[in-house]
Amino acid sequence: MGLLYYPTRIQGSTKPLARYACFSIFKACMSFTGFLLFLVNTATGQGTMLEKRLNIPKQITTLYNALNLISQKADVLFIYDSQVVENNKRVKLEAQNEPLRQVLDEIIANPEISYKVIGQHILIYRIQKAVIPLKEPQPQIPVKDSITTLLVKGHVFDNESKAALSYASIGIAEENIGIIANADGFFQLKIPVSYAGSKLIVSHMGYLSQSIPIGLLSEQQVDIYLSPRVISLQEVIIRYIDPKVIIQKAMKQRELNYSSEPVYLTSFYREGVQKNRKYLSYSEAVFKVYKSAYTHNEYADQVKLLKSRKIENESPADTVYVKLKAGVQSALQLDIVKCIPGFLEITPPLDYTYTYSDLVSFNSRDAYAITFVQNKDIKEPLFRGTLFIDKENFAILGADFEVNPEYLDLAAQDLVLKKSRRLIVKLEKINYSLRYTEFNGKYYLSHARCDINLKTRLRHHLSTDNFNTFLEFATCHIDTLNVVKFPKQEVLKPAMFFSEAMFDNGDSFWNDYNIIVPEDKLAEALSKIIGKIEKIE
């Protein structure tokens, strides 16, 4: 459900050009053996790591802090599930030239919990209890050939505040297989067994990325803590940085940083509508996107629907009609490198004021953070937000922006169609966020999200209804080989409705496709919505 208000100013004109399509908020479309060998080979380094001797002053602290201190002293990273390891448990920590193994045994002090080492990582896990069979065991049928994917899942947190890191990126960089964590920081990723010996990269804006052996993650749910990256003064050259020059360089570098050839993006898409904190509808789908070169306009892209499902719990009285970009088309138009918004057009007369605000870490690379806001003499609904541009190659890495809140009422004049003259619709917020990922030296759209808040009220009534809608698009895999356009009959029409379907969280429905897992509150709400299911291949 994507409301993409896309204001661009025509030179010499005093009015913004708003691109939109008429749509209803509530009717918008929506080898295992090798893996074992890997574990055996890495086990040889376990003894050496666990025999490393430590010196730590005596102290009483939480288990979480104790593991953090040991991590610094021993130069290791711990991986575990906080439901298994009690982070807030008070422990006595002391080491006088004692081996790491002994220190861990003393602070964990639980015979049901064990640990193992792979590289510089130590996995702490609960020992699975053996199940005594009631009957004579039957010969097992080999299933090696039927195992095609490994499932890794967990939560991503801030190492200092323990806050969940929403929309962290998780994937195998060299193959560009990945997914985005949900708003709770939770993720699950299905990985072909042929990559069992690879490493998973976990990253987030402003944090140091982590590279973790998949062998540690395929056995249980884990918590991953990322440390904020503070850029030291030595890394910053004290000089004036003209933000407009940075943006101009970024636009000139598009031919080097973005693909001039089409690619396939296997992508997960979801959208939802909430009324007064109660979900009315939720849709999700897996697409194969033919993404044309950055030099082509967005209408050269094609979308092929692979699977979709939708649940609804609405009545005709809930319907509010809004001019929208239809479904995934909105997300694709958030590709600002291809669909250039006004804040990237650095040609006089300028509509925006730009400020260099910071140097931040973006996927372990330094990036300029450039804020923009419309000029005070412009009394029209444009954008304000922050651009992130790579410090070395000037690639546009992402952006967070919104329609200027001061002029949302004016935006509503172009974006909202009232079903009844008695209905008053007021926009509260329209936010956008997008990120790009690097693959083989080129950058591709990896994540796009739009959130819309609005209120409705019947004339001569005091009560209001609060509506919240969102759309989210995540690239799960990029394929650059043998890319051709889809046959016309396979292309998803921009205004196509997704089939009504009951939400089904079973893996069998989605097979090996990756998805963004619903947040806890969303999953709970969806479980209460009754509907019927229809699968689309």
Q: Is 178 helix (H, G, I), strand (E, B) or coil?
A: strand
Q: What is the secondary structure of 277-312 as a DSSP string? A: TEEEEEEEEEEEEEE--TTS-GGG-EEEEEEEEEEE
Interstrand relation of 149-158 and 222-226 (parallel, antiparallel or unpaired): parallel
**End-to-end alpha carbon distance in the chain:** 22
Q: Taking a C-beta distance cutoff of 8 angstroms, is the pair 114, 80 a contact? A: no
Along the chain (537 residues), what's the average pLDDT of each consecutive run of 10 residues? 47 39 31 36 59 90 90 87 86 90 90 85 79 49 55 90 91 85 91 86 89 80 85 53 93 95 93 83 88 89 86 63 59 90 92 91 86 94 95 95 91 68 84 93 93 86 87 92 92 56 52 80 68 38
Instruction: State the pLDDT at residue 137.
Output: 47
Strand stretches in 229-277, DSSP E: 263-275
Q: DSSP state, 451?
A: E
Joined together, the tokens standing for residue 178 give 């990945």
Instruction: State the pLDDT at residue 249.
Output: 96
In degrees and rounded to multiples of 5, residue 94 shows phi and psi of -160, 140
CA–CA dist 263, 138 (Å, integer): 49
Residues 205, 251, 479, 512: is their CA dihedral positive or negative? positive
Please report, for residues 301, 325, 453, the alpha-carbon distance to residue 330 in angstroms, rounded to integers and kept in the order given.
Answer: 12, 5, 17
Instruction: State the pLDDT at residue 467.
Output: 86
Statement: the pTM of the whole predicted model exceeds 0.85: no
Comparing C-alpha atoms, which of 463, 212, 246 is closest to residue 359?
Answer: 246
Instruction: State the pLDDT at residue 319.
Output: 59
Instruction: State the pLDDT at residue 191.
Output: 87
One-letter amino acid for residue 300 of the chain: A
Joined together, the tokens standing for residue 36 give 């074992």
The length of the chain is 537
Contacts of 506 (CB under 8 A, 6+ apart): none
One-letter amino acid for residue 515 of the chain: I
CA–CA dist 513, 380 (Å, integer): 42
Torsion of CA 349, 355, 360, 366, to 10 degrees: 50
Instruction: State the pLDDT at residue 497.
Output: 44
Instruction: State the pLDDT at residue 290.
Output: 95
DSSP 3-state percent helix, strand, coil across the chain (nearest 5): 20, 40, 40
The helix (run of H) or strand (run of E) holding residue 125 is: strand 121-126
Instruction: State the pLDDT at residue 76.
Output: 87
Q: Taking a C-beta distance cutoff of 8 angstroms, is the pair 170, 210 a contact? A: no
The helix (run of H) or strand (run of E) holding residue 414 is: helix 408-415
One-letter amino acid for residue 537 of the chain: E
CA–CA dist 220, 127 (Å, integer): 11
SS (H, E, C) 51-100: CCEEEEEEEEEEHHHHHHHHHHHHCCEEEECCCCCCCCCEEEEEEEEEEH
Q: Taking a C-beta distance cutoff of 8 angstroms, is the pair 455, 465 a contact? A: yes
Q: Burial of 203 by CB count in 10 Å (0-12 exposed, 13-18 middle, 19+ buried)?
A: buried
Joined together, the tokens standing for residue 302 give 């094609």
One-letter amino acid for residue 147 of the chain: I
Q: Which domains does the chain have, with CATH numbers?
A: 18-30+236-526 (no CATH), 51-126 (3.55.50.30), 146-226 (2.60.40.1120)
